[in-house]
Structures are given as C-alpha cells and as structure tokens.
C-alpha cells in the first residue's frame, strides 16, 4: 500500500512539473487575447435602461387627442371629366361639374378647457364643415376655424361642448435630443385613436421643397395619413411637437403615402408663438428684412475668397426694404442677427420672422473681408411671394451664348432696369448646360465686374483656363443669384 502511494505521489509531481513547463511556453499574445474585450461577468453594464409600459401614459393622454373629419367642395378635375366623356359618349355622357364634394380626416389636441384645439392647416383649410370626436365618446361636435397659417401648416380651431375638456401640457422641444422617446397619437386611416412609439431621429430638419420656416423634429414613431395635426409627446406626457408630414417613396407631405420610419413634427417652441397670434388676430404677422439670400458653397467660397462657409450670402437687396435702408449690400454675408449667430443660411428667415415689427436689430455682416455692424428696423412681411433664389453649380467652361440686352429684349423679359447680357443659347454638353443656365437668364456681372455687352462678356471669360473659378451674378425669375464656373 505504501508503495502504491509513493507511485501516485510520483505521477502527481510529474504532472505538476509538466504543466508548469508548458505554461512557460504559452505565447504572451495568447495571454493578452483574453483581455481584448470585457465580459458582462467582469463588469457592470455601462447603462441600465428600465422601460415600463407606456399604457398608463397613453390612456391619460388619449383623452386630450381628437379625431377630425372634414367635408367640403372643390373644383372638378378636367382630366377626370375628359376621361368620363371618352367612356360615356353621347347623351349618357355626364355633364361637367365645376365642383365636387370631398371628405378628409386628421387629428388634433385640446390645449384649453374651453375647447381650443391645435391641428394642421392642410387638414382644415378647404373645409366647409369640421366635425370633432373624442375618445370613448360616440358623439361628434362641430368646430370652427379661429385662425390658420399656411407657412408653418398650423391651425387653431374651437369646439363648443358643455363639459370641461382635458388639455395637454406643453413641454420643451428645445431640450429634445436624438434618441429620446416620443409618442404619437392620432387617427391614421380612420382607425380612430392609435398610439405609436419611437425616438427622436434628428432635429432641425428641412424638407425638400419645403418653406423657409422649416425646422422639424424627425421621428421614427409611425405617422400615417390621418395623423396630421396630432400631438407628439415626450416620455413625461408633455407635447413637444405637432405631427405634420411624412416622407415616403414617391411622395413627400402630410396627405398621402405610407410610413417608412421618417416622420416630421413642428416643434412646440415654434407652435406657441404661432398659436398665440392665431388666437389673438386670426393670422400671423412676421418680420421682414428685404433680402434674398443663399448658402455659401465651397465653390462660392473659393471664388469670393472666403475662409468659411458659415453665414447667409445676400444675393439681392429689395428696393425700399429694411435692409436697403440699413445699408446692406449685395455680397454681404450676414453672420449675426439680433445677437444670434447665423451659421446656416436657412436659420435667418425664422429669426427675422419671429422678430417684433418695428424693432431695431443689430446685424453683423462681412463685407470685403471685414466685419461690419448695421442697425436694421424690421418691417412687416407682406403676403407676396418673393422670387426664389436657386443655387447652381457650374463646372468646366461656360458654354453660354449671349447677346446684348436691347430695349426690346428687356421689355419682353420684363427687366427694363437691368444692364447686362441675355443668354440666348447653351452649348450641348457644356458646363453651362450641366449647371442649368437657361435661355432668358441675364448675366449682370463676371468676376465682380458689370458686363454691358456680349463683347465684354466674351472678353472677361476669354482667359478662363483649367483650375480657374469664375463668379457670375445672374438675374432669373425676378431675383438674382450667384453662380460659380469651375474649369476642371
């Protein structure tokens, strides 16, 4: 027995020695491999999220959300009538109807016990009758329009009911961050009160073809036709936006398409100022500066010798406007307005619009590389559609065929006061064609110098060689804009 124990001890010792020897030959890299990551067993989770049910919040908030049903008449569709005439020839052909009835739907939310409700302008703008229904109430109630604003697509309506209504609580949209939880409640596809949950995807969004006051919250909370005008809540149950539009394949807007996870809501910070004016005056009064602006592209920055792309480039100063009176000039770059920096071009219109009429505002501009301060008195924006500034980018050679701007041509183009050359043709495949330079455009300046004849134009562009960037100022559709010709 003693001999067997000694043999066992011998083998154990040999095993331990063998293990220790092999351990000495283990690669140091292999030892380090174990520390390439941290397992959950070795450390606590960086963030622990506890997600309770949204049911209590939705049940409470749903009492303040309304379904909106509208009916009205609109002009008949001539193309539709023509199709009917082709299908039904002879005496049985339907007679043309100048108007036809339509029905639509939307959502809204109560903001006061007395019955004021916020919704979208596009929901009610054509309505002859507006019917409101509440959750768990089979009755429908008639509402009337108090005021509406097409530019921000907001409307204020009022419904008269005997009972006190439960209003929402406004939150702070300025404190939202991408990733925050949001809840949308509305009436999609006539299904009635429907709640969807998502997150804030992005802030400060502009929509293609949108207006100058676009400043949307983007969310992936499902929004569909019928959700328009409904509230967007944060996780505290406070309204932070008004669901306004969706982006879907082949369609952008609030009246059609289907949700693909990109919806837009108007921030409640903007809604407050608009609704206050609608309640008081039935309309919105906005400030007016009197300039046409455009963003600064890298090519424009190179052509104008600018070190930054920040600011709003003044393409035109309107006659008799506040900017002209303050001494603003074309080519000025507005970098600060009323103490607020203008980083992006499209920030300025909203800043001006929210400024009180008659207020004297300090505005900083960069002119010829130097910072200049101007005092401008804000006037009221008139309901006149200003010519749109279209930004263009030109590559390679000009390819523009021009001729002198004669009195006859000036009269036909309605540009009697302009001096320049008119584009009469664009060479196929040229930089001008690729840029969209078109017949009827009037070229006013080349490289900062006025051109009065076709001879001057061709002379000023003659030395345009590879690598050069040429700055043009053109007039189009009642407005002016800068173009850069880049010869690559």
Q: Report the catalytic residues.
A: 122, 153, 228
- The answer to whether the beta carbons of residues 74 and 138 sit under 8 Å apart is no
Q: Tell me which residue of 257, 185, 175 sits closest to 217, measured CA to CA.
A: 175
Beta-carbon contacts of residue 354 (< 8 Å; ≥ 6 apart): 273, 286, 287
Place of tokens 């300039």: 291
The alpha carbons of the chain give a radius of gyration, in whole angstroms, of 33
Q: Tell me which residue of 297, 475, 470, 448 sits closest to 397, measured CA to CA.
A: 470
Q: What's the DSSP call for residue 164?
A: P
The per-residue b/e assignment along 64-79, b for 16 or more CB within 10 angstroms, e otherwise, is bbbbbbbebeeeeeee
Beta-carbon contacts of residue 84 (< 8 Å; ≥ 6 apart): 93, 94
d(CA 404, CA 424): 10
Q: Tell me which residue of 468, 472, 474 sits closest to 487, measured CA to CA.
A: 468
Q: Which two structure tokens, joined as six digits, stand for 167?
A: 């209003």
Q: Which two structure tokens, joined as six digits, stand for 213?
A: 């006051």
d(CA 190, CA 222): 15
β pairing state of 394-395 and 99-110: unpaired
| Upper half-sphere CA count for residue 445 (Cβ side, 13 Å) | 15
d(CA 112, CA 107): 16
d(CA 309, CA 298): 7
Beta-carbon contacts of residue 474 (< 8 Å; ≥ 6 apart): 437, 441, 442, 443, 444, 480, 481, 483
d(CA 176, CA 179): 9
């Amino acid at each position: 027995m003693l001999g067997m124990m000694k043999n066992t001890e011998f083998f154990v010792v040999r095993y331990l020695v063998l293990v220790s020897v092999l351990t000495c030959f283990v690669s140091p890299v292999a030892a380090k491999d174990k520390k390439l990551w941290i397992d959950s067993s070795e450390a606590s989770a960086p963030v622990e999220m506890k997600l309770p049910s949204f049911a209590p919040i939705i049940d409470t908030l749903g009492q303040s959300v309304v379904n909106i049903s509208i009916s009205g008449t609109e002009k008949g569709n001539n193309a539709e009538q023509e199709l009917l005439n082709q299908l039904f020839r002879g005496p049985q052909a339907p007679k043309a109807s100048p108007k036809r009835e339509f029905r639509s739907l939307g959502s809204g939310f109560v903001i006061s016990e007395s019955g004021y409700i916020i919704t979208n302008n596009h929901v009610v703008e054509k309505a002859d009758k507006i019917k409101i229904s509440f959750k768990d109430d089979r009755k429908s109630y008639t509402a009337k329009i108090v005021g509406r604003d097409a530019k921000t697509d907001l409307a204020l309506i009022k419904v008269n009911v005997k009972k006190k209504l439960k209003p929402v609580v406004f939150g702070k949209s300025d404190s939202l961050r991408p990733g925050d939880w949001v809840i949308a409640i509305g009436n999609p596809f006539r299904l009635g009160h429907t709640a969807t949950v998502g997150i804030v995807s992005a802030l400060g969004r502009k929509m293609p073809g949108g207006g100058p006051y676009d400043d949307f919250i983007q969310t992936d909370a499902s929004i569909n036709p019928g959700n328009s005008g409904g509230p967007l809540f944060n996780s505290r149950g406070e309204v932070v936006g008004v669901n306004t539009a969706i982006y879907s394949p082949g369609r952008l807007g609030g009246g059609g398409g289907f949700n693909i996870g990109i919806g837009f809501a108007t921030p409640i910070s903007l809604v407050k100022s608009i609704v206050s004016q609608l309640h008081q005056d039935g309309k919105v009064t906005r400030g007016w500066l009197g300039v046409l602006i455009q963003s600064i592209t890298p090519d424009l920055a190179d052509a104008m010798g600018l070190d930054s792309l920040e600011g709003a480039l003044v393409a035109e100063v309107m006659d008799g406007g506040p900017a002209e009176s303050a001494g603003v000039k074309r080519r000025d770059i507005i970098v600060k307005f009323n103490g607020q920096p203008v980083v992006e071009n499209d920030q300025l219109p909203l800043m001006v619009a929210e400024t009180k009429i008659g207020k004297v505002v300090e505005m900083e501009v960069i002119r010829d590389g130097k910072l200049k301060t101007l005092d401008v008195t804000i006037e009221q924006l008139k309901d006149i559609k200003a010519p749109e500034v279209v930004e263009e980018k030109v590559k390679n050679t000009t390819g523009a065929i021009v001729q002198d701007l004669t009195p006859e041509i000036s009269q036909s183009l309605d540009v009697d006061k302009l001096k320049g050359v008119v584009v009469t043709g664009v060479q196929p495949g040229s930089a001008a064609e690729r840029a969209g330079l078109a017949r009827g455009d009037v070229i006013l300046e080349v490289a900062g110098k006025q051109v009065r004849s076709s001879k001057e134009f061709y002379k000023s562009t003659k030395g345009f060689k590879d690598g050069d960037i040429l700055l043009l100022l053109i007039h189009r559709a009642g407005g002016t804009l800068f173009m850069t010709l880049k010869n690559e």
